[in-house]
Amino acid sequence: MRRPVSIAPPKGKLGVLTPGMGAVSTTVMAGVELVRRGHAVPVGSLTQMGTIRLGRRTESRIPKIKEFVKLAELKDIVFGGWDPFPDNAYEAAAKAGVLEAKHLDKAAKFLKTIKPMKAAFDQNYVKNLDGKHVKKGKNKFDLAEQIRQDIRDFKKKNKLDRLVMVWCGSTEIFLKAESVHKDLASFEKAMKSNHQAIAPSMLYAYAAIAEGVPFANGAPNLTVDFAALTEFAKQKGVPLCGKDFKTGQTMMKTILSPGFKARMLGLDGWFSTNILGNRDGEVLDDPGSFKTKEESKLGALEYILQPKVYPELYGKFTHKVRINYYPPRGDNKEGWDNIDIFGWLGYPMQIKVDFLCRDSILAAPIVLDLALFMDLAQRSGMHGIQEWLSFYFKSPMCAPELYPEHDLFIQLMKLKNTLRWMMGEELITHLGAEYYD
């Protein structure tokens, strides 16, 4: 990838489209509205609260990220979305039960104006949902064309300058890339023949790319992670990233495991279990959708701990992940981790983590950051997979010849160095030898 020669300024309005208007999506919409009206602080958002050090430590140049790279302002964001249920964003947020009345009431008027467009939805891919607010079309290609038309209409109606799309829809059943995903011609042919390997999320991704709209995938679905669409994105000059927002338990895993490895502490096993009662939990109660999530959650430790490089420490560890749908907890997930580690002379130790987290509260700032950074990438002429945004994902997309980087701290360094690189600033290596000359 070449360094951007110039970065277009974020003029005019930015449309943020979310296929899926459920817990995560409506929590972002409400939160952005509350922040821009001065009722809340955007906690958890790197683009809004984060700073970046430039130059030497002695220079004290530490601007806010959003000022350093000129991100779109929150006041310029316009939200839209699709959902197989017709509830407006207020009704959907109330059902999701993430936000308390004190927040929901203040954002009510705004949220009621956001009504979902009809979804390209097929229950074969999300078994536990049965929405009726869905598009009809003669085949999958036709549905993708309808999404393209929605995008154009939304842009025109809201007088938008630019758009980004972030998949906040449910987790679909597990699919592997196959021959229909190998190039654009095969993919389009498969859409026209209603091939079962073409899931609804792929239709949104295809439509976004075709319309020149950056696409981020917040779920673990295959969606855009195959040659046909990554190549299409390069050809159309569109940035892509995914998959699966890194929020609760996996975020903790990618914080803790780099620490064990740094100290050369061994691992015998890591058992993770969750109880979750929101619609996402209900969807994941279906084995097909759970398999997609499980694959995504299992990857991080293997990559971070490098069992082949450190066979005595990480060659034989057991890793299990369970998600149990338990309605009383709603969106307030509880995730337990039992970690069996060993130290000097092989003596065993245990660590227990009990994270009482709020899933959508952790995911919402990620959606906002992705929307703003993807817009920046687009304005900078960066296209194809944006690996520097791995920071936000459980299964980061990367070039086919690479393995993904999961360590949260390396991911953050990569993200910030990418911003420095884009702006022609010196990269920070943390060597610091110059201070001791």
Ligand X SMILES: NC(=O)c1ccc[n+]([C@@H]2O[C@H](COP(=O)([O-])OP(=O)(O)OC[C@H]3O[C@@H](n4cnc5c(N)ncnc54)[C@H](O)[C@@H]3O)[C@@H](O)[C@H]2O)c1
Note the residues at the interface with ligand X (CB under 6 A): 19-25, 82-85, 96, 119-121, 126, 129, 131, 168-171, 200, 218-219, 244-245, 247, 278-280, 283, 359-360, 362-363
Contact (Cβ atoms closer than 8 angstroms) between residue 369 and residue 45: yes
The nearer residue to ligand X, 15 or 218, going by C-beta atoms, is 218
**CB atoms closer than 10 angstroms to residue 88:** 17
For ligand X, the closer CB: 4 or 131: 131
Residue sitting closest to ligand X (CB): 22
For residue 55, the one-letter residue type is G
Give the number of C-alpha atoms closer than 13 A to the C-alpha of residue 371, restricted to the C-beta side: 33
Q: How far is the CB of 51 from ligand X (least distance, A)?
A: 25
Which of 249, 261, 163, 160 has its CA nearest to residue 209?
Answer: 163
Q: List the alpha helices (DSSP H) in 101-216.
A: 101-112, 140-157, 184-192, 200-210
Radius of gyration from C-alpha coordinates of the chain: 22
35 or 144, CB closer to ligand X? Answer: 144
Least distance between ligand X and beta carbon 126 (Å): 5
Q: Which is nearer to ligand X, 359 or 375 (CB)?
A: 359
Could you tell me the smallest distance in angstroms from the CB atom of residue 358 to ligand X?
9
Toward ligand X, which CB reaches closer, 147 or 160?
A: 147
Closest distance to ligand X from the beta carbon of 210 (Å) = 17
Could you tell me the two tokens for 243? 């998959």
Contact 23, 95 (CB under 8 A): no
What DSSP character marks residue 54?
B
What minimum distance in Å lies between the beta carbon of 288 and ligand X?
13
CB of 149 to ligand X, least distance (A): 16
Integer angstrom CA distances of residue 99 from 22, 24, 29, 219, 435: 12, 11, 11, 21, 49
Q: Which is nearer to ligand X, 33 or 280 (CB)?
A: 280
